[in-house]
Structure formats: C-alpha cells, structure tokens
Structure 1
C-alpha cells in the first residue's frame, strides 16, 4: 500500500483524502468483516465506525453494519483522497476524447506554472501527476502553510526542492491540485463541474458533492473528531474549510455512493477499456500505485483496487475486486485511528478472502 499523506494534518489548518443483482436487505447476511468492525473502536480508538459491503454473484448481498447510533448508512462524510480517483477518471475521459494526452508535459497546458527551485513543468507529464512520479513536493507537508487555493498550494510546493527526480514515486497531494487546474484549462470548467457532469449526475450519486468553500456537511451527517495533541482528547472538527484540500481531497460522499462509484469504474461504465487499463497500470511505480487508484494484495493472494481518504475528522477506504462485483467501503468518524493499516488489512482480508454468505431459501 502506498504511504498516503493525510490532508489537513495538524498544524496545517489546525487539522488537515447497478451491481447486476437486486440488493438484499441490509444486514441480511452477516459477513466475516463485520466482526472486525468493532476493533476500530475498541483497538483503534474511533468513536464509531461503519461499513457497507456489496457482492454480485450467485449469493448476492448488500450489508451495512455500524458500531453505534452515531453513524448511519445515509450519512454524508468527508472522503478525503478518494477525490483523486474521481479527478483521475475525468482526466482519463479527456484523454479518451483526444483533448489531452497523458504524455503531455504540464508546461504545454499550464505554461510557466511549475518552474523554479529545481521544479520544471517541461519535464513533468500528466501521467506523472496521476501516478505521483512527478517529484513535486507535497504542499501539505509544510506545517507553516495554510493554502486556501490551488495557486497557493502550488506556490507552497514550489518553495521546496523536488522530493526526487521525475519518475520516482512519492505520493504528493500537489499532483492532483495541478490536475484540477489542467481540467479547467482543457474544458473551461472547474474540476468540480466536470466531476458532477461526467460522474456524479450520470451515476446518480445523490449523496456526493464537492463543497468548494462550504464549511458544513449536508444533511444527514454525523460528527467528525480529531485528537488534541496537547491532552489526547477528541475535538469536534465537523465543520472545516475544505478549500485547502481542493482537487486532492475535498469530496463529500456516502457509503452507498462510493460503493456504486467503484463498481461502475471497475465495471467499465465510466472509462473505455484503453483508459481503464491505463488507470490500473502500475508499471511506473513498481506495483504501488496506478492512476488515481492503487492495488492491495491480500493474504489469500487476491488483489483489490481502490483508494483511501484521510482528512480531518474522517478516515475512509473503498476496496473492490478487479471486476467491481465485490466492493466494500468503511469509514470512521476520526482521523486519529490507532493501528489503522493493520486494522484495515484485517478487515479487507476478512471480507474478500472468506467465502461468500450462503443464501437460504425463505
């Protein structure tokens, strides 16, 4: 799994990422992953946690489970870096339409934007932005900066030397902020408009939005918490200014919508075969990251695809089989989750490596 830097990590902004079968009633068929969910609270320190698993097969299921009343299936939440998959899908659609090429240097579309301090947009391609091999510094790593626009974020990144030469994998939120500017240059519309037009509206993702400068979550929603470094107590950070995340992580969504999105994406509803193949190509990163998605190999040998999101007050992860017919999204209402990777891996192993539930005749 790639090392993903959370958006809005303190002190930055004091906080700052159908299925083909009729779904069965939620919680009809308990799955092995459900028993792991409580560990996010008991071991990870999250106030509450929830998951939604879907499988289209001879034994289809659609199962929601939560650890308490403070987190519901219909809740809107901040999805953090899951935004990157949406942005990547738009860029790949534009490539499929011939409006840009992944081999285009950034400077061809955004002349002079990336220049100075060892950074050079003439040597960085759009593909390198998509798979984090650009070498650009991650603007969220600068603890002294509080950028509230894409231009601000780029300036912060360019105040630092590159993290490595182009071609070296280094996850950086700056890459997707720049891609948001690319979308505007190519289409004449901001990335949020293009995501709504190309993905949210066609898939009817009614709980998904890009808030811009809106600091509150749409209803219904729960709360979001972060841990105060001074005394370790959880602090409510439900309301925050998402502009610093932008195209790297401002998305708001729901469990149902994220399951639906990744099912459609991997099932070929959003991208044509050539563009989907490009998205899943991890050659440049030696198997670590594709274009807006990453693979994770589980203990049983199965590889799942998706992305995680880690933003103030929220941690999210969606993973799906290559065909999109088995997908799980979980979320917790805090970014301060102890042993997060171990808990997540155990959850995914339990869901994807166990046998599907058996349907009993009524």
Structure 2
C-alpha cells in the first residue's frame, strides 16, 4: 500500500467548511485489543476487527477506533490504521467528537431544568437578546432542532472567515450573526438540523450558571464520569489523530488545525473511543438526569423527514438521535466522523471514531449497523 505521507497535500483554506461530508476507505494495518470479561455476548476482538474492516472496505478512511461494551462491564476494542503518517492509532488516541458535543450540552440543559434553574418551555429571549423570533422559540425547540433558525455553518460567508485564519478563536456572536442574517422559518413546526441551535443552548448555560458551556460540561459530566480524555479541541500530536479529506476512496489532504471555537457548543469536544462509550451509556440510559427528564427526552423523538440534509437518524429528539431503536448521537466534519449508540434492551454501547471525511457523511452508521448485528 502506498504510504499515507506520499498522498498528503496542504488543504486549500478557502475550501474549509465546518460540515465537510465524509467518505471512507480500506483501513491500513489493523490491530485489536483483548476484550474485558462481561456478559459473554460481546464480539471477540478478531470478530470486531473483521466486521469493521469489511464495513470500511474501499472507503479510504486512514484510521479509527471502535469500542463495544455491555452492561456487565465487558468491552471489546478494535483500533486500525494511522492517526497521522507513520503514527498508528492506539486505544488512547483522541479524535474530534464533532456533533456528539450536542448531546453533552443538551444534557446540561436538562440538568439545569431538573434544578429548576430554567424551564424547557421558556422562550430563548428570557436568557438571550437579539435572537430572531426569540420570544417564540423555546429551549425545547432549540434542542429538538425545530427553532427555524438558519444553520450558521451552512452559510457561504463561513468559508471566507475560516480561510482567513482557521486557527483564530471566533466569538460566538460572529457565528450567530451569520445565522441571524437569514430570514428564519416559523419556530416549532419543521425539523431542520442547525448548529445554531446548540450554540444558543451553550449561551443559555453561560447566562444561567455564570460559566461557559465547557466548564459546565466538565463539572457536570466529564468529572463525574471520569472522562479523562475529553476536552474542548486539540492540536494534532502523538496523542491526537489528524483529520483527512478523502476523495474517490483514497486518503487525500491532511486538514489544517481549526480552532474549537468554530464549532463551539455544537461540536467542539474531543476524546477517545473508550470515554465516548462511557458517555454513550450515561446518555442513553439517562443516568445523569432525573427519570422525569429522561422520560420527557424520549418523548421528544420526531421524524427527520423535513430535512433531507439531516444526519442519518430514524428520529431526533432533544440533542439525541435514534437509530434502529438505539439512542445516541453522531458527528461529522473537517476530517472526523463519529457515532455513539446505546441499546436500551441489551445495555450494549457501540462507539465509533474515524479520521476521514468525504462524500459519505454517514459512514459511522454503516459501521454501526454491521457491528450491532454481531
């Protein structure tokens, strides 16, 4: 196989967008970690590696990590390919979580609702000024992707802003202004996946708690669950994977570092596949929120048919999606694709992290569907 280094080029900055679609490819060298004892229903390391490689065949994804856990504490891990030229993926390699970040932020909002510090039917104007239709858009509308606000990361102006200096930390207000310049749809009607919604939820957290969303997530989720690898953003190094653009089933350009502020509360978190699996269990089971809040969250699931550009879900609710009866979230953008899903029937969790994006933004779903059938 031709080395990755010989295929790399410098990504044209003007082509950067926050939601680059993803395509995939045959993994380079593969290895698997031994499973920890559990219920006995987990795939073996060899089975998991084989399933993942088959699902990724011909895709071009340079590397990734997949973890499957059960509710008895068992787990199986497969890591494969390269984090960067000449650097193999390891179990401790950190990837970008992209839109899975939304599920962390939404959970903090539900915790604040449990504490009576906000109400989910409050209008966003009660916390933030200047939001179009802010007196009619509720916090529930934001989490359910039914606010009617345009997606800031889909606006053409964003590419020019990124091209000037992708390493600069933008103000959240700069990104929100891109969305506010587009005439909004009536709130509470159609589903439309928009990163603007979660940026606003992050701002609500700041207004209610006095802390930014990253601090709230750290205090309320990362520390209690001991997710030691999870933090806001990273620069590629020996511990962190680089993101790659794919084309025609081959590895193309290594993408430049982008400051986490361009994603913000909509996609700024990073971490390992193991910590992502731990989070997926807490998210899907509702262990960090009250039973009433979890019940309400599950009642929010609705059709995604209104938005043909939506990530692939059977249904979407309050910062959480549903696939084949499993609950969790996916993420895609600028060289990284990911998924974490929890099965309420079996208690199993599947966590998937990949470091390539191209034409297919839903490749982790393909891997998930193959893994869950093992």
TM superposition score category, shorter chain reference:
0.7 to 0.9
What's the secondary structure of 2:102's corresponding residue?
Answer: helix
Alignment of 1:114-263 (within 5 A): 114-115=131-132, 120-145=133-158, 146=161, 148-163=170-185, 165-211=187-233, 216-217=235-236, 220-227=239-246, 234-237=252-255, 239-263=257-281
Report the CA distance shift for 1:12/1:107 in structure 2 as closer, same or farther (over 3 A): farther
1:142 and 1:12 map into 2 onto residues whose CA distance is 13
2:257 and 2:297 map into 1 onto residues whose CA distance is 33
* TM-score, with length taken from structure 2: 0.78
Match of 2:318 in 1: 291
Q: How many residues align?
A: 322
1:131 and 1:335 map into 2 onto residues whose CA distance is 26
Deviations 1:232-266 (A, max 9, x none): 86111252212110000000111011100121233
Report the CA distance shift for 1:228/1:350 in structure 2 as closer, same or farther (over 3 A): closer
Deviations 1:108-156 (A, max 9, x none): 111x3213xxxx1011000000010000000011122237221111111
Q: Give unpaired runs (5+ residues) of structure 1.
A: 1-9, 298-302, 355-362
Q: Give unpaired runs (5+ residues) of structure 2.
A: 1-11, 20-34, 83-87, 163-169, 305-313
Are 1:207 and 1:254, in contact at CA under 8 Å, matched by a contact in 2? yes
What's the secondary structure of 1:85's corresponding residue?
Answer: helix
Are 2:121 and 2:138, in contact at CA under 8 Å, matched by a contact in 1? yes
Are 1:24 and 1:62, in contact at CA under 8 Å, matched by a contact in 2? yes
What's the secondary structure of 1:319's corresponding residue?
Answer: strand
2:124 and 2:239 map into 1 onto residues whose CA distance is 40
Shift of 1:346: 4.2
* TM-score, with length taken from structure 1: 0.80
Match of 1:352 in 2: 372
What's the secondary structure of 2:356's corresponding residue?
Answer: coil
Shift of 1:61: 3.5
What's the secondary structure of 1:265's corresponding residue?
Answer: helix
Q: 2:336 aligns with which of 287, 291, 314?
A: 314
Shift of 1:223: 2.1
Q: Which runs of 4+ in 1 moved over 6 A?
A: 10-13
**2:43 is aligned with 1:24:** no
1:99 and 1:88 map into 2 onto residues whose CA distance is 14
What's the secondary structure of 1:87's corresponding residue?
Answer: helix
Match of 1:4 in 2: none
1:152 and 1:12 map into 2 onto residues whose CA distance is 18
**2:105 is aligned with 1:105:** no
Deviations 1:192-232 (A, max 9, x none): 11000000011110000013xxx514751222112479xx8
Match of 2:111 in 1: 93
1:53 and 1:182 map into 2 onto residues whose CA distance is 34
What's the secondary structure of 2:315's corresponding residue?
Answer: coil
1:222 and 1:193 map into 2 onto residues whose CA distance is 24
2:278 and 2:298 map into 1 onto residues whose CA distance is 18
Root-mean-square deviation (CA), in Å?
Answer: 2.8
**2:355 is aligned with 1:333:** yes
